[in-house]
A and B are shown apart, each in its own frame.
Chain A
Amino acid sequence: ELKVEQNPLFLSMQEGKNYTIYCNYSTTSDRLYWYRQDPGKSLESLFVLLSNGAVKQEGRLMASLDTKARLSTLHITAAVHDLSATYFCADFTGNQFYFGTGTSLTVIP
């Protein structure tokens, strides 16, 4: 059974702090994606990770992929309120996207 597990499910952090969201997947993934979803909105693509050791950064967010451990991480540096949202990872395998349950991030001023 294909599984994509994220943790934590809920994260409350203070502005200026660092934290990491973890995404474990069960398949030999072709690609790993990270998305952001604001309340009542659709999903916005953040990163696509295509190979082992891939690292991508955009602003205060950095994503990495370890295919041997079947693990991807989304690291948040010096969080700001605007990063409050739900973050999903998705494993692309067999021409299909399998989404994690999401991590709801709240950044407190």
Chain B
Amino acid sequence: EAGVVQSPRYKIIEKKQPVAFWCNPISGHNTLYWYRQNLGQGPELLIRYENEEAVDDSQLPKDRFSAERLKGVDSTLKIQPAELGDSAVYLCASQYTSGIEQYFGPGTRLTVT
């Protein structure tokens, strides 16, 4: 079974530029999470989806971040415009809604210069 797929793996952009990350969860997983992991810290939730509905986006900085999960499968996370402080690893994870394990993708390492 394929795991959670994320792309790109690395991205370097200049500040004020837009950037987008893509996540393909494990097949059949209804729940999808986007996390941000700053250097030396644990992951912090940005948004949680149940199917195509964003059920928890309270920690998503909505002035510059947006996310979507069309058809309840793949998801994209966008930042526009990026700031220096957005440099981090962006992790996607998925799980069955009734399951107890979440499975992480490899992450996208974003560097904003």
Contacts and interface: CB of A to CB of B under 8 A. Distances in A.
Contact of B56 (A44, A95, A102): A95
A48 B100 contact: yes
A43 B106 contact: no
Instruction: Identify the interface centre among B33, B43, B103, B107: most chain A CB within 10 Å of its CB.
Output: B43
- Main secondary structure on chain A at its contact with chain B? strand
Interface string B72-101: 000000000000000000010000000011
Contact size range, B: 10 to 19
A96 B106 contact: no
Contact of A43 (B45, B56, B100, B104): B104
Contacts of B104: 42-44
Given A96-B48, A100-B42, A102-B42, 4 more contacts: A4-B42, A45-B103, A50-B100, A88-B42
